[in-house]
Amino acid sequence: MFYIKLKEAIKKNGVSMYQISKDTGIAQSTISRWKTQNSLPNLKTLKILADYFNVPITYFSDNIECEPRRIQQETIIDLKKLTDNSLVWCYGKKRLSIMEKNKVSQILKALLED
């Protein structure tokens, strides 16, 4: 039952076992053992998978119907650090010049600083 539900979540989210392993830290060999039904995950691992697919832990064990949806991790960007010249700024496909970057920085500074 567990692997059937995991396989369903994988398919609905379009992720691979490798991607799950990379994102969660769960070894690929562990996931392979689940596939061959040689082992089952412990509660801690079930929690990691449930969080990854945004489902309750019981999704993997009960006959609960819900849509497994993986939550994208947030990327936090400190806008004060955007003046770093090592960063490449783009607007759509257009790469911004240093002068354009400075203009955007000035606008952000005027808008956000008290």
| pTM to 2 decimal places | 0.56
- Enumerate the H helices of the chain as residue ranges: 2-13, 17-24, 28-35, 43-53, 98-112
Q: The domain 2-60 is classified under which CATH number: 3.40.50.300, 1.10.260.40, 2.60.120.10, 3.40.50.970?
A: 1.10.260.40
pLDDT confidence band for 69 (50 / 70 / 90): low
Q: How far is CA 56 from the centre of its chain?
A: 17
Alpha-carbon distance of 1 to 111, in angstroms, equals 54
Q: Which residue has the higher pLDDT, 83 or 39?
A: 39
Share of the chain above pLDDT 70, in %: 83
pLDDT confidence band for 27 (50 / 70 / 90): very high
> Is the per-residue pLDDT at 52 higher than 80?
yes
Which sequence spans correspond to the domains of the chain?
Answer: 2-60, 79-112
Sign of the torsion formed by the C-alpha atoms of 52, 54, 58 and 60: negative
